C-alpha cells in the first residue's frame, strides 16, 4: 500500500510504502519553493543532502537553495527563482522570485501507487504572480525501484513570460555526499560540533558517485551535454544505489541538456541551450498571456546499479 499522511501543522505530506517513508512533500511558506525531501531508497538509504533543513556531519554546506527534489528556473522575466533562499540579503530580494504553494487539489492512494496534485504561484518579490503552476506527483514502486513521476504545467497570467536561456534549472535533486564525484581542494563541510568547517582535501574514501548518460558519457564530462536520461550511481554503507532522471519525449528541448555537477547537483535543464551549446543554439522560450507549457520528468531510485538495459526498460 502506498499511503499519503498529511501533517497539517507542518505543511507537509509523507509518502509511505507500507511502513517505510519514501519521501515528504514540503509546501511550507517558510520555503522559497515546494520540495520533496528526503528521498529514501527501498533498502533504507537517504539519497538527498540534509543541509539546510537537517545537516549531516561531513556533508557540504554550499548552495542553500539546493534542497531535495524541485523544479524552478534561473531567469523568469529577469527574476532568479533558482538561487532564492533565506541566505539572500534583504536588499537583493527584489531580484529573486518565489514559488508559493496554493492548495492541494487532489490526492489518490492505492496498492501500487499514490499521487498528489497541487497548485502554486510563481511570484515576484512584491507578490505579483507571473505563472500559475499545476503539478501532479505520482509515486509508485516496481520491485525494489521507487519512482517519482512529475508533471508540471506552467501558464502565463497577465504578462508575457520569458524564460531566457540560463544554466540554472530546472528539474533537480541535490544528493548526499557519498553520491558526489570525488574532488580535492578546500570544501566547507558540516562539522560534528554543529558548525561549518573549511577543510583542505577532505576524506573522499566514501565518495564514490559517477554519472552515465544515455549517450555513454561519464563523470564530470556529462555537464552541458544532451541525453534522454542520466544515471548517478554510487554506494551507501556498502550497498549499491542509483538515481536516474528521465526526460520525456514531449518536453521542450528534448533531449534535455544536463546541469549535472560533480559536487552533487543533478539537474535536467532543457531551457539553457545558449549556455550549454556555447552560443551555437538559442531557445529563449516565451509564453504569451494565457499560454501554457507542460514538463514531465521521471526520477527512479534504484537499490542497485542498473545496467543500461534495465534503465531503458523504465523509460517513458
pLDDT score for 104: 98
Domain 2-313: give its CATH architecture: Distorted Sandwich (2.70)
Cα–Cα distance for residue pair 8/138, rounded to 1 Å: 20
pLDDT score for 73: 99
Cα–Cα distance for residue pair 150/173, rounded to 1 Å: 13
- Let me know: does 168 contact 315? Beta carbons within 8 Å: no
- Let me know: does 230 contact 260? Beta carbons within 8 Å: yes
Q: CA 303 → CA 46, 146, 171, 179, 254, distances in Å?
A: 11, 9, 22, 13, 28
Residue length of the chain: 316
Helix (H, G, I), strand (E, B) or coil at 121: strand
Place of cell 509564453: 287
Bond before 52 cis per omega within 30 degrees: yes
| Bridge pairing between strands 239-247 and 229-236 | antiparallel
Cα–Cα distance for residue pair 104/110, rounded to 1 Å: 18
Helix (H, G, I), strand (E, B) or coil at 27: coil
Cα–Cα distance for residue pair 188/145, rounded to 1 Å: 33
Task: Write out the chain's pLDDT in tens, 316 residues.
Answer: 999 999 999 999 999 999 999 999 999 999 999 999 999 999 999 999 999 999 999 999 999 999 999 999 999 999 999 999 999 999 999 999 999 999 999 999 999 999 999 999 999 999 999 999 999 999 999 999 999 999 999 999 999 999 999 999 999 999 999 999 999 899 999 999 999 999 999 999 999 999 999 999 999 999 999 999 999 999 999 999 999 999 999 999 999 999 999 999 999 999 999 999 999 999 999 999 999 999 999 999 999 999 999 999 999 9
Helix (H, G, I), strand (E, B) or coil at 273: helix
Cα–Cα distance for residue pair 125/81, rounded to 1 Å: 10
pLDDT score for 154: 99
pLDDT score for 242: 99
Cell of 51: 543541509
Spell out the residues 6+ positions from residue 268 whose beta carbon is closer than 8 angstroms to its own.
Answer: 170, 171, 172, 230, 245, 247, 256, 257, 258, 259, 297
Cα–Cα distance for residue pair 46/51, rounded to 1 Å: 13
Angle at 18 between CA 17 and CA 24, to 5 degrees: 40
Cα–Cα distance for residue pair 284/274, rounded to 1 Å: 8
3-state secondary structure 218-254: EHHHHCCCECCEEEEEEEECCEEEEEEEEECCCCCCC
Spell out the residues 6+ positions from residue 52 whose beta carbon is closer than 8 angstroms to its own.
Answer: 61, 64, 67, 85, 86
pLDDT score for 10: 95
Place of cell 496498492: 111
| Backbone torsions φ then ψ of 9, nearest 5 degrees | -70, -15
Is the CA virtual torsion 79, 84, 88, 90 positive or negative? positive
Amino acid at each position: 500500500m502506498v499511503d499519503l499522511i498529511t501533517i497539517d501543522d507542518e505543511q507537509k505530506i509523507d509518502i509511505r510504502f507500507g511502513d517505510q517513508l519514501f519521501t515528504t512533500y514540503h509546501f511550507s511558506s517558510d520555503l522559497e519553493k515546494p520540495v520533496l525531501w528526503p528521498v529514501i531508497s527501498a533498502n533504507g538509504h537517504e539519497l538527498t543532502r540534509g543541509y539546510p533543513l537537517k545537516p549531516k556531519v561531513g556533508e557540504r554546506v554550499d548552495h542553500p537553495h539546493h534542497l531535495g527534489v524541485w523544479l524552478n528556473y534561473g531567469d523568469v522575466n529577469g527574476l532568479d527563482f533558482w538561487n532564492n533562499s533565506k541566505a539572500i540579503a534583504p536588499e537583493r530580494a527584489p531580484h529573486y522570485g518565489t514559488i508559493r504553494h496554493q492548495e492541494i487539489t487532489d490526492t489518490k492512494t492505492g496498492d501500487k501507487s499514490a499521487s498528489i496534485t497541487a497548485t502554486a504561484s510563481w511570484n515576484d518579490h512584491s507578490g505579483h504572480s507571473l505563472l500559475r503552476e499545476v503539478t501532479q506527483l505520482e509515486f509508485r514502486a516496481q520491485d525494489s525501484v521507487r519512482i517519482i513521476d512529475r508533471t508540471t504545467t506552467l501558464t502565463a497570467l497577465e504578462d508575457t513570460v520569458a524564460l531566457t536561456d540560463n544554466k540554472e534549472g530546472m528539474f533537480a535533486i541535490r544528493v548526499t555526499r557519498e553520491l558526489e564525484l570525488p574532488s580535492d581542494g578546500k570544501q566547507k563541510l558540516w562539522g560534528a560540533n554543529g558548525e561549518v568547517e573549511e577543510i583542505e582535501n577532505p576524506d573522499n574514501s566514501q565518495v564514490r558517485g559517477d554519472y552515465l548518460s544515455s549517450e555513454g558519457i561519464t563523470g564530470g564530462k556529462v555537464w552541458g551535454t544532451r541525453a534522454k536520461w542520466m544515471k548517478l550511481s554510487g554506494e551507501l554503507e556498502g550497498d549499491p544505489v542509483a538515481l536516474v532522471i528521465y526526460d520525456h519525449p514531449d518536453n521542450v528541448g528534448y533531449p534535455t541538456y544536463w546541469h549535472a555537477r560533480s559536487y552533487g547537483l543533478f539537474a535536467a535543464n532543457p531551457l539553457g541551450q545558449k549556455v550549454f551549446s556555447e552560443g551555437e543554439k538559442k531557445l529563449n522560450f516565451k509564453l504569451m498571456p494565457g499560454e501554457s507549457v507542460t514538463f514531465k520528468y521521471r526520477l527512479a531510485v534504484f537499490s542497485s546499479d542498473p545496467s543500461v538495459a534495465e534503465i531503458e526498460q523504465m523509460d517513458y
